[in-house]
Amino acid sequence: MNEWSGSKDLTYEEFVRFRDFIHAASGIYMEDTKQDSLRISLVTRATRLGLSSFSEYFAVLERDEHELNELLNLVTINETSFFRFPQQFEALRTRVLPEIMANKPDSNRTIRIWSAGCSTGEEPYSIAMTVIDAGILSLGWRVQILGTDVSTRALNVAKKGEYPKRSLLNVPSEVLARHFEPVPGGYAVAPHVRSLVDFGYHNLIKEPYPLALMGNWDIIFCRNVTIYFKLESTKRVVSNFFNSLNEGGYLFIGHSETLSQINDQFEAVEVGGVFLYRKPKTRRGIGIAARKPAGAPMPPAEPPALGQREAAVGRSSRTTGRKPERDAEQHSAARRPRPAPRASSSEAQAPDPVQAARAALEEGRVAEALELAQRIIASDPNNADGHLIVAYVHADAGDYAAALESCHRALAINPLLPSARYILGIIYQRQGDVVRAVSEFKKTVYIDDSFALAHFNLANIYKSQRKWDAAAREYENALRALYKSPEGAWTEFLGGFKIDLLAKTCERSLLECRKAMGVS
């Protein structure tokens, strides 16, 4: 079946077959949104083996554990980098480490940190550098950091500790100077950092955990790992973390992840816009009755019924990149009170709370938009549009940390949301992180080439960098997109300005670029 003579399409049935096999063998569960990335991994591996169909490759996978490892190495490739989401390392340095040190008896001056799902080692090394820079080693403290991962190839890279230059672009030069040594083609983590870190193989799904991992951890990092797991597995993993942590110990999860619906034993602690999870200290005589997580980032929500969840995912992908029609009818309809969202097959007629929230946003009723969006998320945490609206409101209010978090939540549900990419780009741009801004704007237009504002912003950035050629090209792209899709989703980011003005601005700037290039 399915020879690769034509397109290398992975049918949904085939996807499910691989997904379930991978899930059974490794615990890693791939949501439907991962279908294409799995397809690419499969084609890559199968081609490497000289196979010509997915079914042939499946047969190999079934009998060859080594091949399963090879595939997992590709599947679990994570976007890792040093100091990824730096606010978390800042929180580690300023809040978590001091608190843990303060809680230890004088007789115990060892801090143990586990980086679970450490991939190629950037995270545990970043932790080590943060610890060193916090200056606690000179105070007589010992710090042990363990990185574990399910990918042996990733672990080999981690142990080697050498990274190409391009993967260190985000590392400030003084950190580079302090904690790295140049090697041909890149940098190696310096010995004083490496000496704090050990690596080992571990599959988070495989229970029971080895004794060495159970218990006595002060801090566990497990960021952007559980997104690969199904809810049940995630619950077990997080529960194992809870049991492995010392009282008062901290769990760091990815900034787009949440423990809501996964575990209510941790208390949520906010540090500088970052949510961390702390294992509470036992109160003697009190049972483990339900403890409300303090300050959880999301309102406690009813677990959605399965059908509802699927409907929501469908809805959110359908509305992707499209904007509700802007007629008077819709606005007045949006104000009418609506029944709570229910899974419904006749969706076309079902009132859409997302549209109501959007309408509120467009009319400047920001607080109302936020409340509506939060209600949408409460009843359906997988509603990407809900997260997007929250992101929009926060970004507009200048609360970038919260906006980033909501964007990432939306993207975790649907990585192909042009508006989420665009908002990320805007936030990075406002934060002065031009490299990331460019990357997000590029992703935006990659997903939706008619997103004129993303072209426009790319152009503006290139212009400010005096890359006239690239800037001119993007202004042209912006103009083309603008005429092609004057009603596109991007128009909601125009702040009410007319498209004509954008067009004029593009034309003006285009002229400027051409002049600078010496073409008039």
Partner 1 sequence: MAARILAVDDSPTILEMIKAILESGGYEVITASDGNEALEKARGEHPDLILLDVMLPKLDGYRVCRLLKFDQNYKSIPIIMLTAKTEEQAMATGIRTGADQYLTKPVEPDTLLAAVAEELSKAKGQ
Contacts of 345 (CB under 8 A, 6+ apart): none
Q: Determine if 335 is a binding residue for partner 1 (CB under 8 A).
A: no
Q: What is the chain's length?
A: 520
Q: Determine if 497 is a binding residue for partner 1 (CB under 8 A).
A: yes
Among residues 119, 130, 260, 429, which is the contact residue for partner 1, using CB under 8 A?
A: 429
CA distance 429 to 436: 8
Beta strands in 106-244 (DSSP E): 110-116, 142-149, 162-164, 180-183, 186-189, 197-201, 217-222
Least separation in angstroms between residue 374's CB and partner 1 is 20
Among residues 105, 285, 339, 495, which is the contact residue for partner 1, using CB under 8 A?
A: 495
Q: Which residue lies nearer to partner 1 by CB, 208 or 495?
A: 495
Q: What are phi and psi of 260, to 5 degrees?
A: -60, 130
Please name every residue paired with 114 in a beta bridge, in sequence order, or none if there are none. Answer: 146, 220
384-403 footprint of partner 1 as x/- string (CB under 8 A): ------------xxxx----
For residue 81, the tally of other CB atoms under 10 A from its CB is 17
Q: Determine if 6 is a binding residue for partner 1 (CB under 8 A).
A: no
Q: Which residue lies nearer to partner 1 by CB, 144 or 505?
A: 505
Helix residue ranges, H only, 161-206: 173-179, 191-194
Q: Determine if 509 is a binding residue for partner 1 (CB under 8 A).
A: yes
Q: Which residue lies nearer to partner 1 by CB, 181 or 396?
A: 396
* Element spanning 86, H or E: helix 86-91
Least separation in angstroms between residue 460's CB and partner 1 is 5
Among residues 316, 320, 382, 457, which is the contact residue for partner 1, using CB under 8 A?
A: 457
Among residues 160, 342, 508, 515, which is the contact residue for partner 1, using CB under 8 A?
A: 508
Amino acid found at 94 = T
Q: Which stretch binds partner 1 (CB under 8 A): 19-27, 303-311, 344-352, 496-504?
A: 496-504
Determine the straight-line distance between the first and last CA of the chain, rounded to whole angstroms: 58
Least separation in angstroms between residue 262's CB and partner 1 is 32
Least separation in angstroms between residue 494's CB and partner 1 is 8
What is the distance, to the nearest Å, from the Cα of residue 162 to the centroid of all Cα atoms in its chain? 25
Amino acid found at 36 = D
Q: Determine if 456 is a binding residue for partner 1 (CB under 8 A).
A: yes
Q: Which residue lies nearer to partner 1 by CB, 162 or 396?
A: 396
Least separation in angstroms between residue 94's CB and partner 1 is 21
CA distance 343 to 68: 38
| Cβ 100 vs Cβ 51: under 8 Å | no
Least separation in angstroms between residue 319's CB and partner 1 is 22
Among residues 501, 515, 517, 519, which is the contact residue for partner 1, using CB under 8 A?
A: 501
Among residues 140, 184, 496, 518, which is the contact residue for partner 1, using CB under 8 A?
A: 496
DSSP code for 85: S
Mode of pairing for the β-strands spanning 217-222 and 197-201? unpaired
Q: Determine if 430 is a binding residue for partner 1 (CB under 8 A).
A: yes
Give me the sheet containing 180-183, strands edge to edge: 162-164, 186-189, 180-183
Q: Which two tokens stand for residue 96?
A: 């978590």
Binding residues for partner 1 restricted to 250-309, rule: CB under 8 A: none
352-371 footprint of partner 1 as x/- string (CB under 8 A): -----------xxx------
3-state secondary structure of 202: coil
Q: Using CB under 8 A, list all residues that contact partner 1.
A: 363-365, 396-399, 426, 429-430, 453, 456-457, 460, 493-498, 501-502, 504-505, 508-509
